[in-house]
Copies of this chain bind each other. A is one copy, B any other.
Amino acid sequence: MTAARHYLALCGGVGGAKLALGLSHVLPPDQLTIVVNNGDDFDYLGLTICPDLDTVTYTLAGLAHPQQGWGRDEESWAAQAVQQALGVEPWFQLGDKDLGLHLARRAMLDAGQPLSAVTASITRGFGIAHAVSPMTDDTVRTLVDTDAGLLPFQDYFVRQRCAPVVRRLCYPGADSARPAPSFLAALNDPQLAGVIICPSNPYLSIDPVLALPGVRPALRQLAAPVIAVAPIVSGSAIKGPTAKIMRELGLDPSALAVARHYGDLLDGYIIDAGDMSAARQSGATLPLHACDIIMKTLDDKIRLARHCLDFANELAHRPRAGG
């Protein structure tokens, strides 16, 4: 591996953030760009909340709450306690330190900075050396079409706790949104050695990224391999509503069904070792790599990150099936 090789990770929130953290431990800052879904962003009490970006930021900074899957560790709740005392029951939890991030972002956005520049300032401010970028500086707002109506993502995810039955996902704004500068730069980098689609929800977290103009064609035309890590192990989502949504969309919630969803974008797929025999039986022709993909400890994340890089490098030296 030469020093100039570069990797691009595409991710959403919790699951993706874990692998992004692993990758940040095995790649130096100049060799990794982490592009994060921001179709989940929403405006709340005058603030622009970017749930996936913030989860990635807090995870990389070592500030994420270890269990709850959102927000900061060692958070305080003075502001929210006052809101509640005044009869306002917040449907989105905002701790004091988290509020500090949102207010800083509000100040920078109000000063005219694009979200990607704001994100770069924030991640640097938290001591993160690796490049973290929203997928776009433009506004994309994931909508979930459900039996309870067309819901903004956070309404579906937080307010309604994923209870409504999903019929369709759509990404208004994606058609005319431009990928953020460092996303474009990574896609066009001649030293790009691999793209890693992290184990995030394919419908809620990855598809908005892929929906941006030019992204799918760019991934298909890349010389470097595109791999994904399954967000499903033994038919269950590692985290979040992936399996539930797949069933509601009429799909069998298996690791391989996610690979079929990504289709010809993928040059390889990493699945849990326990799913390998089922995958072989299915007659999949996509190159598969099996390992333990559940990330509990930092060591798990680093180990899976190494598997990703090794698999991408192995694929780069194989004749490609589709290319």
Contact = CB atoms under 8 A, between A and B. Distances in A.
9 contacts: A45-B103, A45-B110, A46-B46, A76-B76, A76-B96, A85-B126, A86-B100, A88-B104, A88-B108
A309 B90 CA distance: 43
A250 interface: no
B76 A78 contact: yes
B121 A107 contact: no
A87 B105 CA distance: 11
A138 to B, nearest CB: 20
Contacts of A104: 82-83, 86-88
A109 to B, nearest CB: 9
Given A86-B122, A87-B121, A125-B87, A80 B106 contact: no
Interface size class of A (residues with CB under 8 A): 20 to 34
A94 B47 CA distance: 15
A107 B92 CA distance: 12
A220 interface: no
A219 interface: no
A251 interface: no
